[in-house]
Amino acid sequence: MLWRALKHVEKGFYVDVGAGWPEIDSVTKAFYDRGWRGINVDPNPAYHDQLRANRPEDVNLCVAVSDAPGTTEINIVNEPGLSTLDATIAKEHESKGWKVSRIPATVLTLETIWTQYVGRRDVHFLKVDVEGFEQQVLSGKVWSGYRPWIVVVESVRPTSRAESHESWEPILLRADYNFVYADGLNRFYVAQEHSELIPSFTYPPNVFDDFTLHGHCESSVLSRLNAAEVRARNAESQLEAILHSSSWRVTRPLRWLRTLLGPVLQK
């Protein structure tokens, strides 16, 4: 949906709060591969290390985001994508059997990130995926200043389908952002001054978007790799059969003699 709305923009800019992995489940990888650059924010050191290694031309910040700067503890959950600053949600994860460890994290506000790292440039989309901390993140931005064209926010409680946007959506609506689309997991908002983008969100993803589902793409790649592996094994088996054949053993002296006398015969 973001690509449909923004594919006309060359070398655009994004801010990804709760970026997670640089490739798997990444909202920004397709844009990065097409020349876009941006800011990836994630307080999980493991994800941050991957982002630094795989997104060297992005700004990668190992910090948490809230409505006030300072320090806090992040709850690192051993289930990918569920780490959170919300202690209540972390306890819910623990009650379900997931292991939770707590580490210190520096906290910045969204406004500070804008001031220090964005400046006056256009931000074409802001994505927020912070496992229950959306209200605090959005409250830390002065929305009358430099504004992202599109804001995408995860809008269900972690590990559920229960919608959670009631607590934070008014922040965006009061700031003249138009709700334009929901995909069951995220809600999309377009700034009033960029209302020309709204028609891009009229229909869900469809055949005219010319996209491939990640699972299908991954299956195709695995199929090609498996086919290549089968061909390699077949070739290896055929070579081994030749080397152990009687004809190969019988003709070995002739091949040795040809190698030895080849330079002489060429003269």
**Beta carbons within 10 angstroms of residue 244's beta carbon:** 9
Cα 137 from chain centroid?
19
pLDDT tens for the chain, 267 residues long, are: 999 999 999 999 999 999 999 998 899 999 999 999 999 999 999 999 999 999 999 999 999 999 999 998 888 887 777 788 777 787 777 788 888 888 899 999 999 999 999 999 999 999 999 988 899 999 999 999 899 999 999 999 877 788 989 999 999 999 999 999 999 999 999 999 999 999 999 999 999 998 888 777 767 656 676 766 767 777 777 767 666 666 656 666 655 656 666 665 555
The residues that bridge with 152 in the sheet, in sequence order, are 127, 188
Structure pTM? 0.79
CA distance 110 to 139: 8
Question: In 3-state terms, what secondary structure has residue 33?
Answer: helix
